Structure 1
Amino acid sequence: MITLKTRHGRFVAAILSSTFLFYEYGYAAPLPHSASKGHASASPHKARTVRAAQSPHRPAGPVRSQAGEEVEVAVNRAGGGGMMRRETAPRAVQTVTKRFIAMQSPTNTALDLVKNLPSVSVSTNDSSGILGGAINIRSLTDSDMGILLNGVPVATAYYLNQNVDSENLDHVSITPGSAEINLPVTSAAAGVMDAGTITPDHKFGGMMDFSYGTNNMSREFLRVNSGDIGNSGVRGYLSFSHEHARNWIGPGTNERRHLDFGARKDFDNGSFIDLFASWNHQFTSMPLYPTSQQFFDKKNGRGTFSYTSEYNPANPSRYVGLVGNMWDQFFITAPVHLVLPKKFTFDFKPYYVYNGGYSYNGSLFNATTTPVTLGPDGAALSGSVPATSNYSVYRPHAGAVAELSYKIDRHNTFSLGYWFDYQDNQVNNLYSIATENGNKNFPYAAGTGFYQNGSRYMPYQGDSGWYNHSLFVRDVARYLDNRLEVNAGFKVSMINRWSRNYASSAPRTAENTVVPLPQLGIGYKIDDHNQIYINAEGDYRMPDPGSLSSVFDAQTGSYVGNPYNAKPQYLIKEELGWRFDNKYLMADLSLFNYSITNRLVATSVYVNNQAISTTINAGNQTARGFDAMIAAHPIHHFSPYASIEYLNATMDSNLPTTGLLNGTTVADYLPTKGKRAVMAPHVLANIGLTYDDGKFFGNFAVHYTSAQYTTFMNDEKIPGYFTDSITVGYHFPSFGFVKAPTFRLNFNNITGSFVRTGAYGLTNNAHAATGIYGSAISASGSPTYYLYPRFNMTGTVSLAF
């Protein structure tokens, strides 16, 4: 038995215990009414097939992927080679399906898979998928999104590679302007990205693949399906992958190991329990993000901004061996669906995510200014000492959603639910001495750590987090032979945030917030091919709890309260959409309007001339535009796809800052009102073409992003750019126990473009400016950028058994 010793362990144990109790209840649940009359109940497989065909909108979560009737249902709902899926929900939904995912490189994460959807602009660090990236969506970022796996929250887009291997993905959906009322999200201002995993097969078997590519990338994957275990009706799968790759620019290597486990049990009355768990362990060498000047110098052959592979004790911060990250993630969720008597159903969705590890970078530690010893009883150090600055992170995240639904009549289903969410972020800054040849020491080792007065020297000890209690109600009504759907709901979230810096004498800071979140969606099916919908809702993003922390005032030499305590970001959003689908093509058009209040921005501000990093409110912002998608069903094995977004996003307020007036630092505002919002290109466009005749297959896609600003004063921007990808492959005949052997090649950046795709770090103003009140506001620094990896290729051999 595993003993949970952490302070959140009892909570996790209670969730898992409840899950198994529900499992037993689901097994004992009564059969449907028809079965009680002597009719033969449908097999679980057949029942699921019928529901998939009738469901107007596939719910988030595991779905079947094995060959058979259910796959045909999913295929018939997709167009453009799986780059677009037929949707009927009364809100904008954009989805890539298993057909498209199976053609891409296994190194692709959900981030790579959605890059050709109309609402998103994606920035990635590398071609191996290990280093993650970022998303911009309708003038907002992935920090404003709910990032989900099987309907439960995971970390931001930067960590998407840690959640699940692409071979175990069934689909990835983005709802760019809304979040269903029962989803466990706290940052859904920009909508939701939800990845759904496959469900285990009923038959024993599995698959394996091997990939090799540029930048010395190699990857191995193996999945084994148990099939139905005896007469229990339980089935599962277990997979493992290992990947190694070199950075595409500069020195450094990255390595990743990953496990996925899935299990499912279905009951004759429609109840089920799902289980999905994953574990990820990786060591990465973090890249440097260039300024615009560093980018142009590199592009024109005038130098490099990367780390060096040679160790210089006088400058350890530039040595690649002293910069990196070790990270572990464990994720588990076990949703339960119970069909109860008297028209009731109950859904319980617990989850637990653990993130932990450490990042490190080289530095010169001034032991003369800050007296320390090497080890708790070691000799005192002096002068400039080559060291590593380590940030130790411990981040448990747990919660559960419970929803009770009652079918009032044949038209209305009413639901009442509760969501609890807890997260704790503990960060400690530790210092260790570097070895003579520039290697790092284990950050938690006492003998090589820096100590002060017999205790580990930690200039920063942060602990921040939140408790979220949310209640929600909703009613789904269907009339006119189910052609009209009205989905109305209301959620109220009560959030307690806290933060504490144990390195200071400042007390623990806490704040309570109550946020109302109304929602209304109406969809009407005009005929068999046309649907219109409207959606309106209030949404929000909670400020990072760390922004509550006290900050260090260098002028007074003490910690003071944060003067920029941000309020939650709140949005009112409206969508109007039209969908078309027939046997030849499908189309989707959605118009959207956002009104954003208290826009949250991570930036640098000044306290008595000392720059600090924090989260502030940048006032109000408006974003409006349209998304359009069109995709054809196969025509002589060809499936074309195209999408476009037009976006007009402007700032409606001036940005608070500080300036110098008559030699005195004063509060002022940058004149940003009326300027274009940062990372908000006017145009995003995509075209794609898929070919698949059952043997040969291929896919070609091109993405265009127009110019976008990277400063709030609009005095620095990224010009428009193109990205591209090509896939070619062949399915060989099966032989013996080997099924569907396949070889494919994936190419990215065919033209070898060296371009910036997004901002890693935004700034207020790249050049000096004059404030609204006449103060002189100095430049706040240069933005830093993501770069699009140069030409890269991955070859993959795969087979099933």
Structure 2
Amino acid sequence: MASIKTHHGRFLAAILGSTVMFHDFSYAAPSHHSAPKGRTSGVQSKQGAGHVAAPRRASGPVRSQVGENVDVAVKRAGGGGMMRRETAPHAVQTVTKRFIAMQSPTNTALDLVKNLPSVSVSTNDSSGILGGAINIRSLTDSDMGILLNGVPVATAYYLNQNVDSENLDHVSITPGSAEINLPVTSAAAGVMDAGTIAPDHKFGGMMDFSYGSNNLSREFLRVNSGDIGNSGVRGYMSFSHEHARNWIGPGTNERRHLDFGARKDFDNGSFINLFASWNHQFTAMPLYPTSQQFFDKKNGRGSFSYTSEYNPANPSRYSGLVGNMWDQFFITAPVHVVLPRKFTFDFKPYYVYNGGYSYNGSLFNASANSVTLGPNGEKLSGSVPTTSTYSVYRPHAGAVAELSYKIDRHNTLSLGYWFDYQDNQVNNLYSIATEDGNKNFPYAAGTGLYQNGSRYMPYQGDSGWYNHSLFVRDVARYLDNRLEVNAGFKVSMINRWSKNYASHAPRTEENTVVPLPQLGIGYKIDQHNQIYVNAEGDYRMPDPGSLSSVFDAQTGSYVGNPYNAKPQYLIKEELGWRFDNKYLMADLSFFNYSITNRLVATSVYVNNQAISTTINAGNQTARGFDAMIAAHPIYHFSPYASVEYLHATMDSNLPATGLLNGVTVADNLPTKGKRAVMAPHVLANIGLTYDDGKFFGNFAVHYTSSQYTTFMNDEKIPGYFTDSITVGYHFPSFGFVKSPTFRLNFNNVTGSFVRTGAYGLTNNAHATKGVYGSAISASGSPTYYLYPRFNMTGTVSLAF
């Protein structure tokens, strides 16, 4: 294997994370006694529908009856659940079940974290079905590990498919850091980990019904089995159905979702915790406007949306021929085994299947490409209205195994192995459209385009990776557990491959070895104050599809990609302070990032032909601070505020091509010293929650300052505000009905029509001069996410 060279070997490695053995939840190291019946083990509190248990506060470390020190991670929350007490030796930002339960059931994890200090969130719609994107400390969600119960799922765009919000217990973000034993391959920007609720010990359940703007309707039902006989097994199953119209332009979206959870606890502290989900949805894809289209729409001069009327001469603009059908199945079953002689073993397998197709209308030039309708049908000619379909099959599987040994009362040593595999198969198919503009089933032979008796597919891609990672860590606690030192090292050996079966080019593959050292130190000054310092290395693999050979129009053949990118590597240092007492909690963290081989998706040229690929844009630096403060309830009011200051700059010039003396030459855009894209200087949030047990409410305001959307800093989004309001009432229980509740959720109360993020970045919006004097033409206009205008959701819920 070929390894990349780094200058970071001098860093000690460390385990990130709290004092927990199993990072998904606040987990106390097990004693040899089972949890009392009616309560969950560890600190996974019993989760009844419509009920949030108040956590008990421990005064310090708890000593077990067998003489073993047990650290209990106390998870108090402030600001109405918009902030949680943390003890890990690195920055952690969390929203809890109390806050989640006040929000609209349509909210995804993406919507729930939008008021945390480190993140700027962009969403497509008010229903949550269409997903969105995250920007965090000048990086994107492509640079993040996106997890559910500690195992990887798809990017932020697909977060709605993982779990229903009613089954979420918390959502945490560790900006810029990842625990050594987490199964992540892209954690330069940190980790988002959503944790699901624990099954209840009693039979029951809950249901809710929502209706709202844009013809939104949603139904949800969850049933808890309770403890099943004397087996110690308990579980739940839920189902939801959602339907909504696009808030701008034509088209409707529909989603069906199923969640299943089960848990078995053993007397010695071992457990098995299963979670599985299935998601099926049809979506009408929106158009993402350029700045000119945005201003035209805002000022009433036109529309950039798809049309609801079919024109055979322009099928690409018809909404009926643009959409997406997607299925996802997810399952994980973490196992924790307490072994004799101070050993414990954790095994965390997972499997995720993603598959479906996206399609758009197009005019197919049958005169230039000889095709038939069906394998033995008539030959087509002229311009034929068709649907171009990208069929996707994407299995993803892996497992983490970790063996831990308690050396003495101070040190616990862990050895682990992580295996991860993903295969991404994409085929581009064409089918004719019906006379009235409807799409045909993309896999139907009779309506598909064929060439020489085989299905016409100009692109048949297969790319993926194998990841073998070994890690070692030691958790040391001294001074009556007030001092904690986490140190570890992980090395990842990655084999990436890519193949375009539409060409005669050979399969391309590459081996990479990435070292990841970590060190975290936390010290509890007293019962109210903690300081911590953290340093680590993180990385991101380039998309394996970027290894594919590209077509050279001059030679008429496929050639190797001359811009084969190296993995992005990041060194991060962090210094933080936390405070917590009976009135409020505060968190302040300073951070510094040094990014090497920054990965950028862009267009480059091969013999005068533009191709889309991933390149290294040199180095980047980001530094700043996050601050959070939240109060515990004061006369039922719980305020919250947070702010981030970020200064991120590009340290290198961006590769490009220009025209010099009539010849296309390699050049660089003069980007060194310019602000990094999507890196606002200021993010700020305020929130206030009221809850007296009957009436409850919450409002939150978010501010993002201006940010550039081109690497040359010649186009940007101005600063903007977003807002949300919740009001609700808990009615008295009656009969078997418990805690009937009505709530209203309002978003964008001011009706702002603003851009919240870049869907597509570009190098330079205007022509410019390169470093070596060539004339570099404009690379196009960035496209944008729009903040949905005023919308409301009303929800009725009850438990039984």
Scaled to the shorter chain, the TM-score interval is over 0.9
CA apart distance, 1:71:
20
Runs of 4+ in 1 over 2 A off after TM superposition: 1-53, 55-76
Does structure 2 conserve the Cα–Cα contact (< 8 Å) formed by 1:63 and 1:170? no
CA apart distance, 1:509:
0.1
CA apart distance, 1:685:
0.1
CA apart distance, 1:514:
0.1
Q: Distance in 1 between matches of 2:199 and 2:693?
A: 24
Q: Distance in 2 between matches of 1:3 and 1:661?
A: 37
CA apart distance, 1:364:
0.1
TM-score by length of 2: 0.93
Q: Distance in 1 between matches of 2:72 and 2:412?
A: 26
CA apart distance, 1:2:
40
CA apart distance, 1:587:
0.2
Q: How many residues align?
A: 800
Does structure 1 conserve the Cα–Cα contact (< 8 Å) formed by 2:52 and 2:97? no
Q: Distance in 2 between matches of 1:346 and 1:742?
A: 43
Does structure 2 conserve the Cα–Cα contact (< 8 Å) formed by 1:177 and 1:575? no
What's the CA shift string for 1:47-76, capped at 9, x where partnerless? 9999999x9999999999999999999997
Does structure 2 conserve the Cα–Cα contact (< 8 Å) formed by 1:530 and 1:578? yes
Does structure 2 conserve the Cα–Cα contact (< 8 Å) formed by 1:61 and 1:149? no
Does structure 2 conserve the Cα–Cα contact (< 8 Å) formed by 1:637 and 1:691? yes
Does structure 2 conserve the Cα–Cα contact (< 8 Å) formed by 1:271 and 1:338? yes
What's the CA shift string for 1:568-605, capped at 9, x where partnerless? 00000000000000000000000000000000001111
What's the CA shift string for 1:188-214, capped at 9, x where partnerless? 000000000001000000000000000
Q: Distance in 2 between matches of 1:510 and 1:144?
A: 22
Q: Which runs of 5+ in 2 are unaligned?
A: none
Does structure 2 conserve the Cα–Cα contact (< 8 Å) formed by 1:12 and 1:352? no
Q: How does 1:343-742 map to 2 (within 5 A)?
A: 343-742=342-741
Q: Which runs of 5+ in 1 are unaligned?
A: none
Does structure 1 conserve the Cα–Cα contact (< 8 Å) formed by 2:69 and 2:409? no
Residues 459 and 60 (structure 1 numbering): CA distance in 2 closer, same or farther, change over 3 Å?
farther
Q: Secondary structure at the match of 1:100?
A: helix
CA apart distance, 1:28:
21
Q: Secondary structure at the match of 2:195?
A: strand
Aligned match of 2:38: 38
CA apart distance, 1:555:
2.2
Q: Distance in 2 between matches of 1:531 and 1:6?
A: 33
Residues 712 and 396 (structure 1 numbering): CA distance in 2 closer, same or farther, change over 3 Å?
same
CA apart distance, 1:777:
0.3
Q: Distance in 1 between matches of 2:2 and 2:674?
A: 56
Q: Distance in 2 between matches of 1:536 and 1:311?
A: 57
Q: Distance in 1 between matches of 2:60 and 2:479?
A: 29
Does structure 2 conserve the Cα–Cα contact (< 8 Å) formed by 1:15 and 1:350? no
Residues 42 and 331 (structure 1 numbering): CA distance in 2 closer, same or farther, change over 3 Å?
closer
Residues 387 and 34 (structure 1 numbering): CA distance in 2 closer, same or farther, change over 3 Å?
closer
Residues 511 and 211 (structure 1 numbering): CA distance in 2 closer, same or farther, change over 3 Å?
same
Does structure 2 conserve the Cα–Cα contact (< 8 Å) formed by 1:744 and 1:797? yes
CA apart distance, 1:556:
2.0
Q: Secondary structure at the match of 1:269?
A: coil
CA apart distance, 1:38:
23
What's the CA shift string for 1:414-441, capped at 9, x where partnerless? 0000000000000000000000000000
Q: Distance in 2 between matches of 1:17 and 1:686?
A: 25
Residues 470 and 52 (structure 1 numbering): CA distance in 2 closer, same or farther, change over 3 Å?
farther
Q: Distance in 2 between matches of 1:682 and 1:10?
A: 31
Does structure 2 conserve the Cα–Cα contact (< 8 Å) formed by 1:147 and 1:154? yes
Residues 378 and 36 (structure 1 numbering): CA distance in 2 closer, same or farther, change over 3 Å?
closer
Q: Distance in 2 between matches of 1:682 and 1:655?
A: 22
Residues 315 and 178 (structure 1 numbering): CA distance in 2 closer, same or farther, change over 3 Å?
same
Query: Which segment drifts farther, 352-361 or 545-554?
Result: 545-554
* Structure with the largest fraction of helix: 1
Q: Distance in 2 between matches of 1:67 and 1:743?
A: 48
Q: Distance in 2 between matches of 1:221 and 1:346?
A: 37
Q: Distance in 1 between matches of 2:333 and 2:325?
A: 28
CA apart distance, 1:552:
1.2
Q: Secondary structure at the match of 1:416?
A: strand
TM-score by length of 1: 0.93
Does structure 2 conserve the Cα–Cα contact (< 8 Å) formed by 1:62 and 1:197? no
Does structure 1 conserve the Cα–Cα contact (< 8 Å) formed by 2:769 and 2:776? yes
CA apart distance, 1:553:
1.5
What's the CA shift string for 1:76-108, capped at 9, x where partnerless? 700000000000000000000000000000000
CA apart distance, 1:796:
0.1
Does structure 1 conserve the Cα–Cα contact (< 8 Å) formed by 2:50 and 2:798? no
Residues 30 and 728 (structure 1 numbering): CA distance in 2 closer, same or farther, change over 3 Å?
closer
Q: Distance in 2 between matches of 1:528 and 1:728?
A: 36
Residues 73 and 731 (structure 1 numbering): CA distance in 2 closer, same or farther, change over 3 Å?
farther
Q: How does 1:196-275 map to 2 (within 5 A)?
A: 196-275=195-274
Residues 13 and 250 (structure 1 numbering): CA distance in 2 closer, same or farther, change over 3 Å?
farther
Q: Distance in 1 between matches of 2:85 and 2:215?
A: 39
Q: Secondary structure at the match of 1:364?
A: strand
- Give the root-mean-square deviation of aligned CA atoms: 7.1
Q: Secondary structure at the match of 1:201?
A: coil
Residues 596 and 781 (structure 1 numbering): CA distance in 2 closer, same or farther, change over 3 Å?
same
What's the CA shift string for 1:469-524, capped at 9, x where partnerless? 00000000000000000000000000000000000000000000000000000000
Report percent identity of matched pairs: 90
Q: Distance in 1 between matches of 2:586 and 2:570?
A: 28
Aligned match of 2:23: 23
Q: Distance in 2 between matches of 1:137 and 1:540?
A: 15
Q: Distance in 1 between matches of 2:60 and 2:164?
A: 15
Q: Distance in 1 between matches of 2:791 and 2:493?
A: 47
CA apart distance, 1:33:
8.4
CA apart distance, 1:461:
0.2
Residues 43 and 569 (structure 1 numbering): CA distance in 2 closer, same or farther, change over 3 Å?
closer
Q: How does 1:254-333 map to 2 (within 5 A)?
A: 254-333=253-332
Does structure 2 conserve the Cα–Cα contact (< 8 Å) formed by 1:646 and 1:683? yes
Q: Distance in 1 between matches of 2:446 and 2:222?
A: 42
Q: Distance in 2 between matches of 1:648 and 1:5?
A: 27
Q: Secondary structure at the match of 2:723?
A: strand
Does structure 2 conserve the Cα–Cα contact (< 8 Å) formed by 1:65 and 1:199? no
Residues 438 and 58 (structure 1 numbering): CA distance in 2 closer, same or farther, change over 3 Å?
farther
Q: Distance in 2 between matches of 1:593 and 1:234?
A: 46
Query: Which segment drifts farther, 620-629 or 60-69?
Result: 60-69
